Amino acid sequence: MNLIDKDTLVAEIDKRLDELWDLLPNASDVIKDNYTKQEANITGKYTALESFENFINTLEVKEVDLEKVFLDEYSKFSNDVDAMDYAFPIDLADYKDFAKHFFELGLNYIKSNKNE
């Protein structure tokens, strides 16, 4: 799973907004029906990116220490396995692989059901 840093994404959007703005030297002077198709296209892209950035800025970002989460959950899992007296030990690396697999499986399930 790949995560995107919100600040990096917003910085990239700002960079693209600046590039679009530079293509419209008279953007603040646009008069209704007095612009080219190219200017209208650029203005549309600018407006869409601006709207997308506003949406992104409404998202809450949570910092998570994944290593700590894995260790905590692995500890609980290990205690449960020990209590059941199973003969197969599972190490932390395997536990991380299992956790990642089922997390991604869940994400893929959600994505596939959105398309239906």
57-98 pLDDT, tens digit per residue, is: 898 877 777 678 777 777 777 666 555 555 556 666 777 777
Q: Which pTM does this prediction carry?
A: 0.51
The residue extents of the domains of the chain are 6-56, 66-114
- What's the sign of the alpha-carbon dihedral 29, 34, 38, 42? positive
**Rounded Cα gap, residues 23 and 111, in angstroms:** 37
Q: Which amino acid is at 108?
A: N
Q: What is the pLDDT of residues 5-56, one digit of tens each?
A: 788 899 999 999 999 988 887 766 655 666 778 888 888 899 999 999 999 9
User: Lowest mean pLDDT: which of 1-5, 14-18, 107-111?
Assistant: 1-5
